[in-house]
């Protein structure tokens, strides 16, 4: 082990509980052991998820939250102790590995809760019973401290009031539920949360709490609910039973559905550093033993769920600062890198490193650090494409599907949270497989097929692997994407796959194989309008084939177009975006944390965006745009188009892939199309499709 990482592997204490090292697996969606909202009790298959991680040098596990009250009907957790029975064997296995486990208990989301009308996808998929909006959820789940608070997902909807009688019921429920956690073997509990703008945080913050009773007004009053909770748990479970608090040091919030970005000077409407210094002292005095820290609210959601645009270690300085105002240990989360964490721990500035989605991407992450195998770590690229696929337009509309049932998974590691669905057994009848295309889809298929015992040849027409992802990873803020390309190439070369670079396949009949996997991607769409020949495609720009001037017009305000605009702004240029729809980054499948941060960054960098607008002509030095308010002329030394892709179906001709396969000789190899050459999708769709194809070929 590199000596600089040694501080991560020293013991520490939370209350009277000794934890073997300084690594905390954070609670995340999809890591719940007890899921009580839409299903009853124990989460099927979750045991395998934790068995993959329990022996991987994690000191403290905090599974996903357990709501005190069921979404459907008034079913209190503490009245159903049987739901804890199935988790006891998993807790015992975690203890046998030398690790500890805290269960996280939640009072709910308040104004961050998805309202009954937005839960229709659940009903359609049969997860929830078909009932009316009034009875779909117990009313307490869409109540907030203040009736003037707008719902996060539906800003026009006002919340009901969370009454003092409700507070008393929940305080009691926290104590009784914590007792069940203790009896099940949990080493402590975590209260969720004065954090991220959830219910207890809404009570704690000025802009969401205008109450006139003893739970509103002064900071002490706004923290009263959270303080009563820890006192009740200590009363029921004993003063020595550890209680952690998930805590946002700062709210990073400019207003409802308005977040601040790193480096911005702004008026904080939530909890600023000065108030946080006072708050953490009040909370410590009330009895909390640990503060599990980051930043943000649902209005600035990307601070708690940092996307690719967020700087590495983005919350570290804030958590180090607040450590000076409490005698209790603090955990830091938020794209925290192990070298920075180890240095801070060694200096006594924080006590432990919180790790979340990186452990979904690579369960052996900490072990690889400890054993000096850093190059083997599959890097999390902070895409949130499968672990946190909450879609939404952050106050600009709710026409997108705001919730996805599959959470806690990983775009880059389909095995995660699918351990009972997939198999890793060697192929029963190994095949000779030819993979055409060395992009992400082709490499994923080749790696998995080779590991399963198939004989694999991969053909790539260029002199490098990675395909279009090389362009996607080119931007300055995508250091983890670049690391992912290196990881894929390393993994591929560590298998028995025969790699043929600079080898273009023009005829599939020239390949000797049992199976051919075509993964040749897609072609950028072009525009048919006057002057279009002067525009460069997004791919050409990102690959460095086209230089740009100071004023750049980007046609297309989807994810790639907006990322290019942000990159140009970082370079000091003057980009503007023209988008034909009414939303920037409006596609489904993009996590709201990612899309809202990118929109806020464009705002901060003063990048103009012309929505519901179309380009009529590209001239020698400008772009003529038709906007809802009339025609305008934008200065443009350069123009970049980012208007989507069409599948490269060269091997299916005009007949379509199925008919093309039928026309092949009877003994011809089976041909499968993977990724964008089949249907333009995302990194998630291409990796999953390649992975599942190899599963199919190996049975």
> What is the tens place of the pLDDT at every residue in 653-666?
533 444 445 555 55
Q: What domains are defined for the chain?
A: 3-376 (3.20.20.70), 432-523+646-698 (3.40.50.720), 526-643 (3.50.50.60)
Residue 40: per-residue pLDDT? 56
Apex CA 692: angle with CA 516 and CA 64, to 5°? 155
The single residue listed with the structure tokens 């200096």 is 347
Q: Determine what percent of the chain is predicted with pLDDT higher than 90.
A: 83
Q: What are 626's two structure tokens?
A: 């038709």
pLDDT at 562 over 70: yes
Confidence of residue 193 (pLDDT cuts 50, 70, 90): confident
CA distance 518 to 509: 13
Residue 41: per-residue pLDDT? 62
Task: Please answer whether residues 114 and 124 qualify as being in contact, where contact means their C-beta atoms are separated by less than 8 angstroms.
Answer: no
- Give the tens place of pLDDT for each residue, 217-254: 999 999 999 999 999 999 999 999 999 999 999 999 99
433 membership: H or E segment, kind and range: strand 432-436
Residue 675: per-residue pLDDT? 95
CA distance 497 to 523: 27
CA distance 487 to 368: 14
Of these residues, 50, 198, 288, 566, which one is catalytic? Answer: 198
Residue 498 CB coordination number (10 Å)? 13
Of 127-141, 344-358, 366-380, where does mean pLDDT reach its minimum?
A: 127-141
* Rounded (10°) CA dihedral 598, 604, 605, 608: 80
- Give the tens place of pLDDT for each residue, 600-617: 999 999 999 999 999 999
Q: Which residues on neighbouring strands pair with residue 24, listed in sequence order?
A: 60, 354
532 membership: H or E segment, kind and range: none
Average pLDDT over the chain reads 91
CA distance 674 to 657: 12
Q: Which residues on neighbouring strands pair with residue 439, listed in sequence order?
A: 466
CA-based R_g, the chain, Å: 26
Confidence of residue 199 (pLDDT cuts 50, 70, 90): very high
CA distance 564 to 323: 38
Q: Which residues on neighbouring strands pair with residue 331, listed in sequence order?
A: 292, 352
> CB within 8 A of 475, min separation 6: which ones?
542, 563, 564, 566, 567
- Furthest-apart CA atoms within the chain: distance in Å: 81
Whether the predicted model's global pTM rises above the 0.85 cut? yes
Q: What are 71's two structure tokens?
A: 């979404």
CA distance 513 to 505: 13
Q: What are 321's two structure tokens?
A: 């600062």
Residue 117: per-residue pLDDT? 52
pLDDT average, residue stretch 371-399: 79
Answer yes or no: 645 catalytic: no
Confidence of residue 74 (pLDDT cuts 50, 70, 90): confident
């Amino acid at each position: 082990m590199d000596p600089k990482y040694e501080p991560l592997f020293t013991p520490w204490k939370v209350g009277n509980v000794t934890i073997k090292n300084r690594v905390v697996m954070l609670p995340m969606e999809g890591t719940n052991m007890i899921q009580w909202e839409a299903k009853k009790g124990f989460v099927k298959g979750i045991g395998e998820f934790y068995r993959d991680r329990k022996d991987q040098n994690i000191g403290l596990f905090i599974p996903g939250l357990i709501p005190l009250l069921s979404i459907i009907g008034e079913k209190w957790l503490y009245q159903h102790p049987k739901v804890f029975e199935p988790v006891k064997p998993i807790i015992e296995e975690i203890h046998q590995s030398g690790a500890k486990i805290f269960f996280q208990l939640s009072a709910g989301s308040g104004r961050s809760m998805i309202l009954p009308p937005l839960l229709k996808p659940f009903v359609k998929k049969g997860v929830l019973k078909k009932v009316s909006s009034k009875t779909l959820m117990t009313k307490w789940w869409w109540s907030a401290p203040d009736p003037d608070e707008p719902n996060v997902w539906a800003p026009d909807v006002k919340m009901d009031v969370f009454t003092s009688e409700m507070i008393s019921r929940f305080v009691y429920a926290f104590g009784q539920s914590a007792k069940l956690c203790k009896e099940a073997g949990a080493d402590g509990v975590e209260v969720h949360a004065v954090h991220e703008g959830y219910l207890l945080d809404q009570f704690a913050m000025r802009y969401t709490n205008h109450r006139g009773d003893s739970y509103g007004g002064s900071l002490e009053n706004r923290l009263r609910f959270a303080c009563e909770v820890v006192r009740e748990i200590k009363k029921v479970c004993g003063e020595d039973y550890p209680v952690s608090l998930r805590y946002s040091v700062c709210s990073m919030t400019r207003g409802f559905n308005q977040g601040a970005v790193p480096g911005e000077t702004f008026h904080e409407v939530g909890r600023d550093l000065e108030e946080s210094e006072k708050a953490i002292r009040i909370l410590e005095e009330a009895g909390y033993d640990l503060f599990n820290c980051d930043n943000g609210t649902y209005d600035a959601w990307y601070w708690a769920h940092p996307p690719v645009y967020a700087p590495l270690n983005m919350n570290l300085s804030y958590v180090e600062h607040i450590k000076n105002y409490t005698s209790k240990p603090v955990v830091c989360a938020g794209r925290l890198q192990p070298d920075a964490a180890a240095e801070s721990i060694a200096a006594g500035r924080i006590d432990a490193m919180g790790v979340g989605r990186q452990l979904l991407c690579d369960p052996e992450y900490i072990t690889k650090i400890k054993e000096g195998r850093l190059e083997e770590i599959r890097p999390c690229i902070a895409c949130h494409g499968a672990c946190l696929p909450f879609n939404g337009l952050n106050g600009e509309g709710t026409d997108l599907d705001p919730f996805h049932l599959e959470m806690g998974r990983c775009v880059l590691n389909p095995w995660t949270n699918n351990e009972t669905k997939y198999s890793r057994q060697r192929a029963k009848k190994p095949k000779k497989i030819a993979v055409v295309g060395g992009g992400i889809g082709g490499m994923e298929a080749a790696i998995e097929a080779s590991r399963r015992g198939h004989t694999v040849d991969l053909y790539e027409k260029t002199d490098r692997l990675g395909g279009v992802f090389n362009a996607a990873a080119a931007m300055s803020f995508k250091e983890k994407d670049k690391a992912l390309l290196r990881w894929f190439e390393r993994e591929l070369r560590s298998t028995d796959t025969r790699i043929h670079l600079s080898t273009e396949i023009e005829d599939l009949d020239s390949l000797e194989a049992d199976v051919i996997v075509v993964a040749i991607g897609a072609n950028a769409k072009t525009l048919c309008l006057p002057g279009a020949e002067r525009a460069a495609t997004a791919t050409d720009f990102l690959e460095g084939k086209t230089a740009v001037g100071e004023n750049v017009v980007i046609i297309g305000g989807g994810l790639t177009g907006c990322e290019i605009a942000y990159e140009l702004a970082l370079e000091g240029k003057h980009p503007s975006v023209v988008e034909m729809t009414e939303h920037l980054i409006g596609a489904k499948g993009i996590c709201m944390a990612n899309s809202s941060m990118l929109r806020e960054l464009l705002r901060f960098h003063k990048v103009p965006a012309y929505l519901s607008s179309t380009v009529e002509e590209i001239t020698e030095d400008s772009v003529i745009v038709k906007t809802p308010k009339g025609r305008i002329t934008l200065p443009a030394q350069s123009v970049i188009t980012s208007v989507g892709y069409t599948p490269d179906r060269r091997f299916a001709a005009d007949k379509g892939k199925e008919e093309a396969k039928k026309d092949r000789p009877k003994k011809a190899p089976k041909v499968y199309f993977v990724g964008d050459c089949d249907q333009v999708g995302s990194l998630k769709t291409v990796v999953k499709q390649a992975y599942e194809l190899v599963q199919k070929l190996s049975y």
